[in-house]
Structure 1
Amino acid sequence: MTTNPSAELLDNLLTATGQTTSRREEVRVWSMSGVERVTFPDGSTAIFKYAKKPFDSEDQALRLAHTLGVPVPQLHTAAVLDGWLGMLMEDLGPSARDADDLDGVAAAVVLHSTRTASALPVLDRERLRTLPVRALEHLERLRKADRWQDTDDVEKALDRIAQAAEARSAGATLAPFGERGWRLLDFARAFTGPGLLDLASWHGTIEPPHPLRLRVFLEQYVVASGTPDALASRGGLTAENWALGWHRMWAVEWFMEQSVRWINDPATDPGYIKVVRRYLTDVLHLLEI
C-alpha cells in the first residue's frame, strides 16, 4: 500500500480506547512517519505517531523500555494496518528547553544500566563487519535496476572498508554493550549492541564528525557513572574515532537499504548518493583505512 492510512489507523486507535477526537495537529511529518497531537472533546490530548515498515515495531521497543525501567512516554494503545504502525501515546507537552550534552549523558547512563532484552536484534562485532558487505549487496541490486550507475567510488570505498572491517571492528563488545543493557539509536531501530554508537549518535550526522567533542562527551559519561571502558581504545583506534566511524558505516548501510527496499524511488537517488559519499569519506578517515 502506497497511501498513508493514518486517518484509518487513528480511527482504529480511538475505537480501541473509546475516544473521539475533535482536532489533529501536525507536530512533524516525514515520508515514512509522522507525529501529531490529537485533542479530545474534554480538552485532554495525546500524541499520535505513525510509521511504515521498517519502523513498525517501535511500540515493542517502548514497551521493553518501560519494562526495563527506562523513562519513556506511556503507550496507550497501538495498531498495525497495511504495514503501518499507529500509536497513541502520552502527551508530555512542549519541551521546557533543548536537551544538552548532560541530558544525553544522563539518558545514556540509564539505558546502559538496564538488562538485556532478548527480543531485540544484536549488533555485535560480526554484524559490524558485515555492514560494508551488506551495503555492497544493496549497491549490486540498485545497479541491476539501472540505478546508482556512476558510483564506482562508492564501490571502491565499501571494498576498502570491508577489507579492513576485521581489524577495525575489534572491541565492539567492550562495555557498554548488551550484556548490561539494550541499546537505542532511536526507538524505531532499537538493538542490543555497542553503547558507544548511542553516544556517537547524540550530536547527529548533519555536521561533520567532531572526535574531540565526542571525547569530551564520553568523559562526561564516565563521570556520570557510565563504564570507564567507554574511553578504551578499540580496533586500533581511539574510542571516539571508532564510535563515529562505525556509526556512519551503520548509517551508510541503512541509507542504501532504504534506497533499494523501503523508499525504492529513483528520484531520491541523487540525494542518497550524495549523503553516502560524504559518510564514506568520513568512515575512511575515522577508521584510518
Structure 2
Amino acid sequence: MIYGSLPSYTRQRQAELFNEENNNFDILIATDAVGMGMNLNIRRVVFSSFLKYDRYGQHQISASQVKQIAGRAGMRGSPYHHGLCTTLEDCDLQYLRHCLEKPLGDMQQMGLFPLYEHLNSFMNLAKEKLEFYNMLTRFKESSCMDDEYFMCDVEQFETVAFALRSISTGLSFKERFNFCMAPVNIKNRDVMRHLCIFAELYSKNLPITFSIELDTTSSIEDERDLMVLETYNQILTVYIWLSQQLDIQRFTQIKEAEMIISNINSSISNFLFKAVK
C-alpha cells in the first residue's frame, strides 16, 4: 500500500515487497503518489477512480497525471516489456482512452520559485523595512514575468511565514527563509505547532528539543493510531531537515529523532503487513 502521507522509508519498503518475486504481495493498492519517482515492477494498472481530493477540493486528475500513473506499467527495467491499463468501472474507460490518446504537446511555460537571493535582494532594495511575510506579499505583487514563465505556488511558504509573524526578533533573514522552506504539512496543526516551537526556541538561542515519546511495546490498532504515528514522523522529519539547514549543534535530539522514526517505520510496516493478511 502506498499513499502520500506514508513515511518515505515505509513507502520504499512497500515497493520492495511488491517488486520481490515469489511472495504473496501481487497487488499494490496506491493513490496517485505511485506516479512519483518509484521503480515498480507493474504489469497492469487498474484505476478505481479519476477523482482526487486535496486542499482545493475534489477534482478530476489531468491527462498528464493519468499518463504518468499508467506509465508505471511496463516501465523500462521491469520484467514486463508491455504494460496494460484499465479501469475498475466501465464508465471510466472513455476518460482513460481520452487521456492516453491526448498528445502531451510542447511545454508553454516554466515555473519559477523565488530563491533566497531573490527575496534578499528585494528586501535590500525596499525603501522601508518590511516584516518577512509582508515582504513576501510585496514581492508577489511586484513580480513581472513574460509569457514564458509563471510563479510557482508559494502557498505553503506564505502559510509558514504568516505563522512565524509572532517571532519578531532572533531570526536572521536567511534563518526565517529556511524555516519557511521546511517540508512541513501545513494542513496538520500539530506539525505546524511544532515548527513554530522550533522557530521560537531557535530565536531565543535555546536548544531545539521535542517531547515525543513512542511506546514500542504497543502496536497500531486503528486508523487513528496510524495517523498519530504519521504526524510524529512528519514532525521529526522537519526537525532533522532543519538541523541540516541551520546550526546543527542547537538540535540536541537528532539521534533520538532518528531512532523514533525508525521505530515508527517498523510499526507502520507491521500494521500494513497485517492489514493485507
TM-score bracket, shorter-length normalisation? under 0.3
Which is higher, the Rg of structure 1 or of structure 2? 2
Q: Please report the TM-score for the alignment, with normalisation by the length of structure 1.
A: 0.24
Greater strand content: 1
